[in-house]
Amino acid sequence: MASDGPDRRDLLQTAALTAAALGVAPEALAQPAGAPKRPNILVILTDDQGRGDYSAFGTRDIRTPGIDRLCAEGVTFDNFYANSSVCSPSRAALLTGCFPDRVGVPGVIREEHPQDSWGWLWKDATLLPEVLGPAGYHSALIGKWHLGLSSPNTPTDRGFDHFHGFLGDMMDDYWTHRRNGFNFMRQDKQVIDPPGHATDLFTQWACEHLEVRARLDQPFFLYLAYNAPHDPIQPPPEALAKVKQREPDMTDKRARLVALIEHMDDGIRQVLDTLDRTGLAQNTLVVYTSDNGGVLANGANNGPWRSEKGHMYEGGLRVPGAARWPGHIAAGSRTERITLTMDIFGAACEAAGVKPPAGIDALSFLPALRGEADGEAERDRYFVRREGGLAYAGKTIEALRRGDWKILQDSPFAALELYDLAHDPRETTNLAASERQRFGQMAAALRGHVQRGGEVPWQPAHEPGQER
């Protein structure tokens, strides 16, 4: 059953304790602050949420009023793409504004298992909080990190002023928060072991954080990264019961996933309500998306597109996307702009009025929302995933979209495929044999991106012969 969230008095009391833990003086909390000149930035990232798994998409067996509210009060992206079909690379792209292999993260980081880890966040990469900090922003990450388990690659090592969440790739249980027996939950660098469902914890911490920031005359960047609806699919019993009562003919598998998403959506609703209650909403840019497509075996809905998480077909790369910024983004609008996860970096820099680092790949989507040209139609969109095991053998799979044409290799041992997405959005007809000239041009462009990514190492230095 959906919760109305914590009582405001409880939130205020907890916010004061949170502020004390952050070193914020009590007198600073007692002084209502004027609206900061620069906008606040809130990025909400979900984990493995399918393109069609929210009700504003038109999916009838799911209810997501929180996400739907963002769509109704802002813009819906009809063509939002994750930078990769798996987790770590998309997160690296979001926080650096670069194609992920250019910052050393072409695949999933599993630092606790170095023999099966396929990324290492490049020491010279500049993360978004490091860009926003000199402009006066306070930056916090609540939720999932998945870009390293130890220094120098933890959130507070890489520019975040505050971290409250977990460092790893996933939890084996939403209530115990362990991964292979290890506890990766942290508050800044301190090991913590809080009770409760992870989704509820991240929502609570986000609302408390917003209560604190609302009392300070300082703009903030909050990156709220839920681990839902990543497996294991463990919704609270009351959320599952609600779905089963409403949808008695739904399969158990689908019901569990829907309940997990709806529970997370209620958390998003609470966060939006906190923005309203604290007076922050009007001056806050909110961006919402997912890190990659959904898992079909878990009952995900990726819309009409082919395949799922982990693959280079559209179902693995297309994700939900919405943004709200009152007075800047028209309510109830839509955009066909082909937007990538890394473009959040560009939009955040533009909104904050700061110059992005030289050489990044991100483009702000804000000009397109104002009806201005932003040059996005001319660029190539490149996607990469490196993985181990017998299916990948440490090699990469890639895709490149140029205009409406897309070339991809979905297995390192398969041939390249070519699709015309304008006429074949479901990727049913491979045109590699019939469009030889275009195929050659696209293949050459893809190789160029592979070479460019190869300039940056994707694993830490180690001695020759050292076991990994």
| Residues with active-site annotation | 87, 146
**Residue 44's CB: how many other CB atoms inside 10 A?**
25
Cβ burial of 130 (10 Å; 0-12, 13-18, 19+) is middle
**φ, ψ at 109 (rounded to 5°):** -85, 120
CA 193 to chain CA centroid, nearest Å: 24
List phi, psi (to 5°) of 273. -60, -35
Beta strand 284-290 with 321-324: parallel, antiparallel or unpaired? antiparallel
- Alpha-carbon gap, residue 190 to 291, rounded angstroms: 27
Which H or E run includes 382? Answer: strand 381-386
Q: Please tell me whether the peptide bond between 357 and the residue prior to it is cis, using omega within 30 degrees of 0.
A: no
**8-21 and 198-213 are packed helices; what angle lies between their axes, rounded to 10 degrees?**
80
CA atoms of 77 and 334, how far apart (whole Å)? 6
459: helix, coil or strand?
A: coil
Q: How far apart are CA 172 and CA 209, in angstroms?
A: 26
- The sign one gets for the Cα dihedral 227, 230, 232, 237 is positive
CB of 338 within 8 A of CB of 372? no
Q: Are strands 40-46 and 284-290 parallel, antiparallel or unpaired?
A: parallel
Q: Which residues partner with 318 through β-bridges? A: 81
| CA atoms of 317 and 294, how far apart (whole Å) | 9
Crossing angle between the packed helical segments 252-278 and 65-73, to the nearest 10 degrees: 50
Q: What token pair was written down for 192?
A: 């913590």
**CB-based burial, 203-235: b 16+ in 10 Å, e otherwise:** bbbbbbbbbbbbbbeebbbbbbbbbbbbbebbb
Q: How many helices (H) and strands (E) would you count in the chain?
A: 13, 16
The whole-angstrom distance between residue 266's C-alpha and the CA centroid of its chain comes to 18
Q: Any bridge partners for residue 184, and if so which? A: none
